[in-house]
């Protein structure tokens, strides 16, 4: 995986798992940057580590599996948060509809307060 992005970075995983030292990762990142500046091509950190024989294929695969598992956990938490928000929004809409009649009190745009409130919720 590349050294950037939202997901947990490969270099951090390798250091935390005591597979590589911080200095080894820093050297590989410097080589990655240097290669990109010279050629315009951005190699993945794992490629650099393999090319320089700093890391074995087996250790790289292990770290990438760990990275993928962490990414999946983050995505699953995000998905659950969205599901909770959608559920809460639906409950709020139903509650609001049951207590305020749509014909009462118009907003500045001419919509009922219920319609305005629902439009606000849907923007999120």
| d(C-alpha 50, C-alpha 56), whole Å | 6
How do the domains of the chain map onto residue ranges? 10-123
Residue-wise pLDDT tens digits, 15-43: 999 999 999 999 999 999 999 999 999 99
Taking 90 as the threshold, does the pLDDT of residue 85 lie above it? no
Out of 21-30, 58-67, 87-96, pick the least confident. 87-96
pTM: 0.52
Which of 29-33's residues contact partners 24+ apart within 8 Å by CB, and which partners?
29/3, 32/3
The three-state secondary structure class of 101 is coil
What residues contact residue 62 under an 8 Å CB cut-off, 6+ apart?
17, 19
């Amino acid at each position: 995986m590349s050294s950037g992005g939202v997901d947990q970075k490969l270099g951090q995983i390798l250091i935390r798992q005591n597979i590589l030292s911080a200095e080894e990762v820093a050297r590989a990142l410097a080589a990655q940057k240097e290669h990109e500046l010279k050629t315009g091509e951005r190699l993945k950190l794992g490629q650099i580590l393999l090319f320089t024989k700093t890391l074995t294929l087996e250790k790289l695969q292990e770290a990438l599996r760990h990275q993928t598992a962490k990414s999946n956990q983050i995505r699953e938490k995000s998905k659950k948060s969205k599901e909770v928000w959608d559920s809460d929004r639906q409950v709020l809409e139903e509650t609001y509809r049951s207590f305020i009649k749509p014909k009462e009190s118009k907003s500045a745009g001419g919509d009922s307060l219920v319609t305005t409130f629902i439009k606000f919720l849907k923007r999120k």
